[in-house]
Structure 1
Amino acid sequence: MRWTDTIDIAIELEEAHPDKDNLHLRFTDLHKWVCELPGFEDDPEASNEKILEAIQMAWIEERED
């Protein structure tokens, strides 16, 4: 997975952290959790606030489904 795979990342985050409040989270925590996902192979330094926000929104949608 890469930073641009927001839907895949959201699915993996929901499976790995179903108890986390994905509405009120720190982007530093989100960044850490994404980098720790199995199969995540992108450069940790290649993320930014826009990417993390897109991942968070996808995660919120994933949980609502």
Structure 2
Amino acid sequence: MKWTDITDIAIALEETHPDVDNVNLRYTDLHAWVCALPDFADDPQKSNEKILEAIQMAWIDERD
């Protein structure tokens, strides 16, 4: 997965962290969790707040 795989990342995060409050989270934690996903293979420096926000929104939608 790469940073642009927003939906896949959101699904993987929900499977890995089902009990996390994904509405009230710090982007530093979200960044670390994405980078720690087993299938994630992108440069950690390529993320930004816009990408992390999109991942968070997709994760919230995935949970609903």
Bucket of the pairwise TM-score, normalised by the shorter protein: over 0.9
Q: Determine the structure 2 residue equivalent to 1:58.
A: 58
Two-structure CA RMSD over aligned residues (Å): 0.2
Q: Determine the structure 2 residue equivalent to 1:16.
A: 16
State the number of aligned residues.
64
Output the TM-score relative to the length of structure 1.
Answer: 0.98
Q: Which runs of 5+ in 2 are unaligned?
A: none
Output the TM-score relative to the length of structure 2.
Answer: 0.99
Q: What percent of counterpart residues are identical?
A: 73
How far apart are the structure 2 equivalents of 1:39 and 1:24?
25
Q: Which runs of 5+ in 1 are unaligned?
A: none
1:6-47: per-residue Cα shift (whole Å, max 9, x none)? 000000000000010000000000000000001100000000
